[in-house]
A and B are shown apart, each in its own frame.
Chain A
Amino acid sequence: MHPAPSVILFTVLSGAGFGLLVALGLGLVLPSGWAALWLWGLGYGLAVAGLMASAFHLGRPERAWRAFTQWRSSWLSREAWGAVIALLALAPVALSDWLGLGWPRMIGWIGAGLAVATVFSTAMIYAQLRAVPRWNHWITPATFLAFMATGGAILSGQGAWAALLCLALAGLLVIGWRIGDTRFAAAGSTMGTATGLLRGRVSVFEAPHTGDNYLTREMIHVVGRRHARKLRMMAVVCAGVVPALLMVVLPGIWGPLLAAPVHLIGAAAQRWLFFAEAEHVVGLFYGRR
């Protein structure tokens, strides 16, 4: 699949942003005054920036409001609702922290739950697609939620807990790739089942068109996979190992300050691979994957 920069940016930033909002909503950190404004602002900023970025990949962004209408059937619609409700639900808690109003924390827990549901919906947009076997697995929501938890723990300065989550995430990434590499074969789609030509070996004699088209550009994107090994290494080291060390070794605010950007670079590398390595079954018609 084509790794669109806007979608990579969206999923990475909004994941980390909602993670921070969950940490704040649950009261894992209880900032007050300007510190509260800064932390809540960072959470909102990342989440909203991500949502804005996602609108850039639409063909008709001016109609984006229509995406709220099909929540009964569409994960994309549920994600849109989740994001808006979660951001609204957490607003009183943010206000209370900032101005020291002492409003009940209960609202924060509800907001945190909604934020988790939003990231889960984002992941399900991909995980629901049978046509992309690598994504069509529980490991996809597990990975998105793990990134959310880790990003939130780093940004909210959870020290050793953040380090543990970083290492767990690194392990989950390795498991995810091991599962993902077997998914296409497990789905059972071949050039034979795609064309129904099951009497013998099928190969492409002539393509239907000499140039590119939307399908080949969007779904048969092979360029991004060339450096898969290096990018996998980079994702594990940057998203997991290095931030874990930084969160344990560095004191106070220096941990999150240095670990967060490194972690986000690792998350972006993972997300690039998430798209670039995902093979769509339509490639079978073209004899490519």
Chain B
Amino acid sequence: MPETVLTTVPAGWAALAGIVLCTLAFFAAALDSALSARAEGAGRGGWLAPAWSTARLLRQRRRTVVAADTLLLRVGAAGMLVGSFLMVAVIPLGRWTLADLDVGVVWFNTVDVMVWALVWLAGWGANSVHGLVGGYRFLAHGLAYELPLMFALVAPAIAAGSLRVGDAAGAQDRLWFVVWMPVAFVIFLVGVTGFSVWGPFAAALGADVAGGVLAELSGVDRLVMQAGRYAFLAAGAAFSVPLFLGGGAGPFLPEWAWVAVKTVAVLAVLVWLRRKLPVFRPDRFLEIGWVVLLPAAVAQDLVVSLVVVWKG
């Protein structure tokens, strides 16, 4: 296996990583509202809409329902934003990384499992039937996407012979993993959309349950929860770059620029897809996850293992 030289930067750079993540999350939100504006025939506007709603939510007074479990509600809402920051800690930006964890892939998986708890807590804590229904819907989606996602994460780890994210990026100097493990890549993106409660997996926030988990969230709580969703989407897109898309590999530009370009491209596709796909009903998607996605992911792992053994 080729050795990758990653420089672990001092912890102070975490602030820059946070700013980059927030920028990406804002880009995702702006792109989404611009696409919405165009779809509604409102012309070219919409790019700044997330900034206005941020300002509005920042000065909005929180409202609450009787006997709401405020602690759990706030842990759930704020946890989404915090979790996405924990996720980017192990993603290398070209040669630099904040934490060169020897189990980086498992770390990513652990953080995305946290979302199970966070979304349910936000739904439960509001003491509202809509929030609770939303929380349960998310857990049902989670049961369907999480295991395929775990097995999809296994494929690059087997090929790289390491759970270190930098090693996975370094193992793709000849052929990107996305080329010979496309099934794992697609299932990974399904998982990213899932834990970002995005697009097809937004049933937990559905209009048919009055906004679901978001129904009773207001002010800053609503802001951090929504920002957390976009930040998770951005972090998931960024994680696909070292795992499947060759990391910083590419001509002309420096490595960090390639990571940024690829991240923005994947993120834009994920945002664009929201308008193209229907929301998956949790009860129906459960069967798709276990009967279609999970066997497909295991078969992909088998193919990758055979290739690795064959190549010695």
| Same complex origin of A and B | no
Q: Using a CB–CB distance below 8 Å, which chain A residues touch chain B?
A: none
